Amino acid sequence: MASRIASGLLRRRAGSTLGLLRSYTHVRNYSSQLSALIPATSQCSKLTRRSYYTPNASPYQVWSRSFASDNGDSFEAVVPFMGESVTDGTIATFLKKPGDRVEADEPIAQIETDKVTIDVASPEAGVIEKFIVSEGDTVTPGTKVAVISKSAQPAETHVAPSEEATPKESSPPKVEEKPKAEVKAPKVEPPKTQPPKPSTAPPKTSPSEPQLPPKERERRVPMPRLRKRIANRLKDSQNTFAMLTTFNEVDMTNLMKLRSDYKDEFVTKHGVKLGLMSCFVKAAVSALQNQPIVNAVIDGDDIIYRDYVDVSVAVGTSKGLVVPVIRDADTMNFADIEKGINNLAKKATEGALSIDDMAGGTFTISNGGVYGSLISTPIINPPQSAILGMHSIVQRPVVVNGDILARPMMYLALTYDHRLIDGREAVFFLRRIKDVVEDPRRLLLDI
């Protein structure tokens, strides 16, 4: 019995082994036939590694070339995604010209939106054949901007000889034509030049008409898109809000002494300088927590109270005023706020601010004192309800404990929406900032 079972097992193993050998032979023969049909090229080796084969004229290969033409030599640079709240932009300037060589991810054009400037980059290296759009055109995400060729050569060496040859050939006929025109001109010009002389005389004799400067001394340029957006928002703010401004002055003696005493240790530990702005942000956070109505906003017939504080910091750039946001300022310390301000200021100067950097914000601080402003009435940044204006620090005589002393003083201005915020809350808000700045120890003790 045992011998029968053993012989049966041996037969089954032999049969399975024979089947495997036959299948291996079949696969080997098939692979040899397939290798004879397919040329041994790099393209086929890539295809076989992907376990499928498509001929050269396969539609899959044409579809797989992103931004490429049928021959695979040229591709297109398109407008990138500009943010959820931005639907279009304007071609501000071209950083390259046709015939220039560009590398992968190198900017070739700039698009100006309502909030930021966005670069259009080349997806691959090549030479620009042509631009499909022009400066001033309005474009949307996905719009084709330029056609770039991989194999073309820069056109600088071919343009120079043609430019040198054309002026040499065209200059002699111009010299011959000028004397002919000069001979005919004296016969016709005298009667034409005489009438303008009496026509220009009457305006000089009439003292009542103002003498306007000539048009040649004026320049007319299109308004940048960012400046248009700023103008519209500021005018909408004036038309929408019932704006009222309250003022106060703050003695900066203690805060400046605190900064002077610990600035070196602060830089050593945190790697960033201790500025005055971080203290005003912390003071604003404390004031907003004491007067939450200033952090609220009107939405139709409702009032929305925000239990978080996102402080917008106004930054002036060469292209206009931008207002990036410090997120969750109520959870930050002095070092985090200083790092955030420095990062946003650097990005604003370089024009690298994104839509997310400026979206939102519950309260704005504008420091006009860095430009020397003594006092001003800032305009509310919609849809917020208030804005704090800081100004320059000036030594002024003040009365301290009955004595007249020279102290570094700063005027503060709070512009608020009087529809939502009463004068009482606005004054209490500004008083809280004054108390905290004049005695920073209040922040530590929360009093």
Residues 75 and 104: beta-carbon distance below 8 Å: no
Report how far residue 63's alpha carbon sits from residue 172's, in angstroms, rounded to the nearest whole number.
Answer: 55
Query: What's CA 388's distance to the chain center, in Å?
Result: 25
Residue 371 Cα distances to 146, 390, 405, angstroms:
41, 11, 26
Residues 97 and 128: beta-carbon distance below 8 Å: yes
Structure tokens at 442: 């209040």
Phi-psi region of 149 (alpha: psi -120 to 50; beta: other; left: phi over 0): beta
Structure tokens at 373: 């402003």
DSSP string over 13-61: HHHHHHHHHHHHHHHHHHHHHHHHHS---HHHHHHHHTT----TT-HHH
Residues 310 and 368: beta-carbon distance below 8 Å: no
The helix/strand/coil state of 376 is coil
Residue indicated by tokens 């041994």: 40
Contacts of 287 (CB under 8 A, 6+ apart): 294, 429, 430, 432, 433, 436
Known catalytic residues are 418, 422
The helix/strand/coil state of 114 is coil
Report how far residue 433's alpha carbon sits from residue 365's, in angstroms, rounded to the nearest whole number.
Answer: 12
Contacts of 226 (CB under 8 A, 6+ apart): 112, 113, 114, 115, 117, 319, 320
- In the chain, helix, strand, coil percent, each to 5? 45, 20, 35
Residues paired with residue 380 on neighbouring β-strands, in sequence order:
none
In angstroms, what is the C-alpha Rg of the chain?
Answer: 37
Residues 271 and 446: beta-carbon distance below 8 Å: no
Structure tokens at 354: 């994104």
Indicate the length of the chain as a whole number. 447
